[in-house]
Amino acid sequence: MNINCIIQARMSSTRLPGKIMKFIEDKVVLQHVVDRCKMSRYIDKVIVATTNKKDDDIIEKYCIDNNILYYRGDENNVLERYYLTATTFNSDIIIRVTSDCPLIDYNIIDNMIEYFKENNLKFLQPKYSNGNNQKSRGGFPDGFNPQIFTYNALKESYEKSKTDFEKEHVGPYMVENFLEKEYNILLIKNYSKIDLYNLHLSLDTIEDYNLIKNIYNKLYIKNKNFSLYDVLDFLNIYKCK
Protein backbone atom coordinates (compact mmCIF):
# COMPACT_ATOMS: atom_id res chain seq x y z
CA MET A 1 0.00 0.00 0.00
CA ASN A 2 1.50 3.31 -1.13
CA ILE A 3 0.89 6.25 1.20
CA ASN A 4 1.88 9.41 -0.66
CA CYS A 5 1.83 13.03 0.41
CA ILE A 6 0.87 15.49 -2.34
CA ILE A 7 1.69 19.14 -1.70
CA GLN A 8 -0.13 21.60 -3.93
CA ALA A 9 2.06 24.58 -4.84
CA ARG A 10 2.08 27.57 -7.15
CA MET A 11 3.86 30.92 -7.33
CA SER A 12 0.81 33.10 -7.88
CA SER A 13 -0.71 34.64 -4.77
CA THR A 14 -2.66 37.87 -4.73
CA ARG A 15 -1.66 38.79 -1.18
CA LEU A 16 1.93 37.50 -1.08
CA PRO A 17 3.28 36.62 -4.54
CA GLY A 18 6.04 34.01 -4.64
CA LYS A 19 5.55 33.21 -0.96
CA ILE A 20 6.63 29.56 -1.21
CA MET A 21 10.08 30.61 -2.46
CA LYS A 22 10.68 33.05 0.37
CA PHE A 23 13.37 32.07 2.84
CA ILE A 24 12.74 31.20 6.45
CA GLU A 25 16.04 30.55 8.20
CA ASP A 26 18.11 28.25 5.92
CA LYS A 27 15.43 27.08 3.48
CA VAL A 28 12.63 28.31 1.28
CA VAL A 29 9.09 27.75 2.53
CA LEU A 30 8.41 24.93 0.05
CA GLN A 31 11.46 23.01 1.23
CA HIS A 32 10.39 23.32 4.85
CA VAL A 33 6.98 21.86 3.98
CA VAL A 34 8.55 19.00 2.02
CA ASP A 35 11.08 18.20 4.74
CA ARG A 36 8.55 18.29 7.55
CA CYS A 37 6.26 15.91 5.65
CA LYS A 38 9.19 13.59 4.94
CA MET A 39 9.66 13.13 8.70
CA SER A 40 6.51 10.98 8.71
CA ARG A 41 7.02 7.33 9.61
CA TYR A 42 4.34 6.24 7.16
CA ILE A 43 4.61 8.39 4.04
CA ASP A 44 6.33 6.65 1.13
CA LYS A 45 6.65 9.58 -1.28
CA VAL A 46 6.33 13.35 -0.95
CA ILE A 47 5.28 14.92 -4.26
CA VAL A 48 4.85 18.55 -5.23
CA ALA A 49 1.84 19.13 -7.50
CA THR A 50 2.26 22.44 -9.31
CA THR A 51 0.68 24.01 -12.39
CA ASN A 52 1.48 24.16 -16.07
CA LYS A 53 1.75 27.95 -15.98
CA LYS A 54 5.08 29.44 -17.01
CA ASP A 55 5.25 31.26 -13.67
CA ASP A 56 5.61 27.85 -12.03
CA ASP A 57 8.60 26.77 -14.10
CA ILE A 58 10.66 27.91 -11.12
CA ILE A 59 8.94 25.28 -8.96
CA GLU A 60 9.73 22.54 -11.48
CA LYS A 61 13.37 23.65 -11.62
CA TYR A 62 13.59 23.77 -7.84
CA CYS A 63 12.19 20.26 -7.58
CA ILE A 64 14.62 18.94 -10.19
CA ASP A 65 17.60 20.65 -8.56
CA ASN A 66 16.65 19.32 -5.11
CA ASN A 67 15.55 15.80 -6.06
CA ILE A 68 11.90 16.40 -5.16
CA LEU A 69 9.21 14.43 -6.98
CA TYR A 70 6.74 16.66 -8.82
CA TYR A 71 3.83 16.76 -11.24
CA ARG A 72 2.43 19.63 -13.28
CA GLY A 73 -1.25 20.04 -14.09
CA ASP A 74 -4.16 22.43 -14.42
CA GLU A 75 -3.96 25.61 -12.37
CA ASN A 76 -7.61 25.97 -11.42
CA ASN A 77 -8.79 22.35 -11.47
CA VAL A 78 -6.75 21.34 -8.44
CA LEU A 79 -8.90 18.23 -7.99
CA GLU A 80 -7.82 16.98 -11.42
CA ARG A 81 -4.20 17.86 -10.57
CA TYR A 82 -4.42 15.74 -7.43
CA TYR A 83 -6.08 12.86 -9.23
CA LEU A 84 -3.49 12.78 -12.01
CA THR A 85 -0.62 13.15 -9.56
CA ALA A 86 -1.97 10.34 -7.38
CA THR A 87 -2.46 8.14 -10.46
CA THR A 88 1.01 8.84 -11.83
CA PHE A 89 2.68 7.88 -8.54
CA ASN A 90 0.49 4.82 -7.85
CA SER A 91 -1.03 6.20 -4.67
CA ASP A 92 -3.38 4.13 -2.50
CA ILE A 93 -3.74 6.67 0.31
CA ILE A 94 -3.13 10.37 -0.24
CA ILE A 95 -2.16 12.99 2.34
CA ARG A 96 -3.15 16.42 1.08
CA VAL A 97 -0.99 19.32 2.29
CA THR A 98 -0.80 22.88 0.97
CA SER A 99 2.54 24.61 0.44
CA ASP A 100 1.58 27.59 2.59
CA CYS A 101 1.87 25.50 5.79
CA PRO A 102 5.57 25.60 6.79
CA LEU A 103 4.65 24.72 10.38
CA ILE A 104 2.93 21.45 9.42
CA ASP A 105 3.52 18.82 12.12
CA TYR A 106 4.48 15.31 10.98
CA ASN A 107 3.29 13.94 14.33
CA ILE A 108 -0.25 15.08 13.54
CA ILE A 109 0.03 13.54 10.08
CA ASP A 110 1.16 10.21 11.54
CA ASN A 111 -1.53 10.21 14.22
CA MET A 112 -4.14 10.93 11.57
CA ILE A 113 -2.84 8.13 9.33
CA GLU A 114 -3.09 5.68 12.22
CA TYR A 115 -6.63 6.85 13.02
CA PHE A 116 -7.57 6.69 9.33
CA LYS A 117 -6.40 3.10 8.98
CA GLU A 118 -7.73 1.88 12.34
CA ASN A 119 -11.21 3.14 11.45
CA ASN A 120 -11.08 1.98 7.83
CA LEU A 121 -12.03 5.44 6.59
CA LYS A 122 -12.19 6.86 3.09
CA PHE A 123 -11.67 10.49 4.09
CA LEU A 124 -10.38 12.28 7.18
CA GLN A 125 -9.61 15.84 8.21
CA PRO A 126 -9.03 17.57 11.56
CA LYS A 127 -11.98 19.05 13.40
CA TYR A 128 -12.08 22.82 13.18
CA SER A 129 -12.68 25.00 16.19
CA ASN A 130 -15.56 26.91 14.62
CA GLY A 131 -17.35 24.17 12.75
CA ASN A 132 -17.33 20.47 11.98
CA ASN A 133 -16.59 20.30 8.30
CA GLN A 134 -14.82 22.03 5.44
CA LYS A 135 -17.74 24.38 4.86
CA SER A 136 -16.66 26.38 7.89
CA ARG A 137 -13.75 28.59 6.99
CA GLY A 138 -10.69 29.15 9.12
CA GLY A 139 -10.25 28.28 12.74
CA PHE A 140 -7.74 26.13 14.54
CA PRO A 141 -5.87 24.11 13.33
CA ASP A 142 -5.18 26.50 10.45
CA GLY A 143 -1.70 25.65 9.17
CA PHE A 144 -1.83 22.15 10.70
CA ASN A 145 -4.72 20.66 8.77
CA PRO A 146 -3.82 17.86 6.34
CA GLN A 147 -6.57 15.83 4.70
CA ILE A 148 -6.30 12.09 4.10
CA PHE A 149 -8.29 10.10 1.54
CA THR A 150 -8.16 6.89 -0.44
CA TYR A 151 -7.37 6.84 -4.13
CA ASN A 152 -10.86 5.46 -4.85
CA ALA A 153 -12.47 8.35 -2.96
CA LEU A 154 -10.36 10.81 -4.94
CA LYS A 155 -11.23 9.04 -8.20
CA GLU A 156 -14.96 9.20 -7.50
CA SER A 157 -14.64 12.85 -6.51
CA TYR A 158 -12.79 13.61 -9.75
CA GLU A 159 -15.41 11.81 -11.85
CA LYS A 160 -18.49 13.26 -10.13
CA SER A 161 -17.53 16.78 -9.07
CA LYS A 162 -19.32 19.32 -11.24
CA THR A 163 -18.83 22.80 -9.81
CA ASP A 164 -15.78 25.05 -10.04
CA PHE A 165 -15.73 25.20 -6.24
CA GLU A 166 -15.48 21.41 -5.96
CA LYS A 167 -12.71 21.30 -8.53
CA GLU A 168 -10.71 24.16 -7.05
CA HIS A 169 -10.82 23.02 -3.42
CA VAL A 170 -10.36 19.22 -3.87
CA GLY A 171 -12.23 18.17 -0.72
CA PRO A 172 -15.89 19.34 -0.91
CA TYR A 173 -17.25 16.24 -2.65
CA MET A 174 -15.40 13.96 -0.26
CA VAL A 175 -16.62 15.95 2.75
CA GLU A 176 -20.21 15.54 1.56
CA ASN A 177 -19.94 11.85 0.67
CA PHE A 178 -17.18 10.21 2.72
CA LEU A 179 -16.81 12.17 5.96
CA GLU A 180 -17.71 9.77 8.78
CA LYS A 181 -15.39 10.98 11.54
CA GLU A 182 -13.08 13.91 12.12
CA TYR A 183 -9.75 13.82 13.90
CA ASN A 184 -9.60 15.84 17.10
CA ILE A 185 -6.20 17.43 17.71
CA LEU A 186 -5.79 17.42 21.46
CA LEU A 187 -4.67 20.51 23.31
CA ILE A 188 -2.38 19.29 26.05
CA LYS A 189 -2.42 22.57 28.00
CA ASN A 190 -4.64 25.54 28.65
CA TYR A 191 -3.29 28.10 26.20
CA SER A 192 -5.03 30.97 27.92
CA LYS A 193 -3.28 33.77 26.02
CA ILE A 194 -4.07 32.42 22.56
CA ASP A 195 -7.30 33.03 20.70
CA LEU A 196 -7.49 29.54 19.19
CA TYR A 197 -10.75 30.40 17.48
CA ASN A 198 -9.01 32.96 15.25
CA LEU A 199 -5.43 31.61 15.27
CA HIS A 200 -3.95 31.85 11.77
CA LEU A 201 -0.70 30.01 11.14
CA SER A 202 -0.65 29.44 7.39
CA LEU A 203 1.27 31.77 5.10
CA ASP A 204 -1.00 34.22 3.27
CA THR A 205 0.25 37.73 4.06
CA ILE A 206 3.44 39.57 4.94
CA GLU A 207 2.20 39.63 8.54
CA ASP A 208 1.94 35.83 8.49
CA TYR A 209 5.43 35.63 7.03
CA ASN A 210 6.89 37.79 9.78
CA LEU A 211 5.12 35.78 12.49
CA ILE A 212 6.23 32.43 11.07
CA LYS A 213 9.80 33.73 10.67
CA ASN A 214 9.71 34.73 14.34
CA ILE A 215 8.48 31.28 15.35
CA TYR A 216 11.25 29.61 13.34
CA ASN A 217 13.83 31.99 14.77
CA LYS A 218 12.95 30.93 18.30
CA LEU A 219 12.29 27.20 17.78
CA TYR A 220 14.15 25.94 14.72
CA ILE A 221 17.71 26.43 16.01
CA LYS A 222 16.96 24.39 19.11
CA ASN A 223 14.89 21.70 17.40
CA LYS A 224 14.35 21.48 13.64
CA ASN A 225 11.53 19.00 14.29
CA PHE A 226 9.52 21.31 16.54
CA SER A 227 5.87 20.38 17.02
CA LEU A 228 2.50 22.10 17.12
CA TYR A 229 2.75 22.17 20.90
CA ASP A 230 6.13 23.90 20.75
CA VAL A 231 4.51 26.57 18.55
CA LEU A 232 1.57 26.99 20.92
CA ASP A 233 3.87 27.19 23.94
CA PHE A 234 5.85 29.93 22.21
CA LEU A 235 2.75 31.89 21.20
CA ASN A 236 1.24 31.54 24.66
CA ILE A 237 4.35 32.93 26.32
CA TYR A 238 4.69 35.87 23.96
CA LYS A 239 0.95 36.60 23.82
CA CYS A 240 0.89 36.31 20.04
CA LYS A 241 -2.45 35.89 18.31
Give me the pLDDT at residue 137, please.
42
Structural fold of domain 3-185: Spore Coat Polysaccharide Biosynthesis Protein SpsA; Chain A (3.90.550)
**Residue 133 in this model has a pLDDT that exceeds 50:** no
Give the tens place of pLDDT for each residue, 165-177: 999 999 999 999 9
Q: Are strands 93-98 and 3-8 parallel, antiparallel or unpaired?
A: parallel
Give me the pLDDT at residue 126, please.
92
Q: Give how far Cα 203 sits from Cα of 17, 123, 207, Å.
A: 11, 25, 9
Quote the Cα angle for 132-196-143, to 5°.
Answer: 75
Q: What is the pTM of this model?
A: 0.93
Give the tens place of pLDDT for each residue, 30-84: 999 999 999 999 999 999 999 999 999 999 999 999 999 999 999 999 999 999 9
Q: How confident is the model at residue 132 (pLDDT cuts 50, 70, 90)?
A: very low
The pLDDT of 228-238, averaged and rounded, is 93
**Nearest CA to 68 among 24, 104, 35, 19?**
35
**Nearest CA to 63 among 91, 83, 33?**
33
Q: Which ranges of 147-198 does DSSP label H, i.e. alpha helix?
A: 151-160, 164-169, 172-178
Give the tens place of pLDDT for each residue, 135-158: 444 457 789 999 999 999 999 999
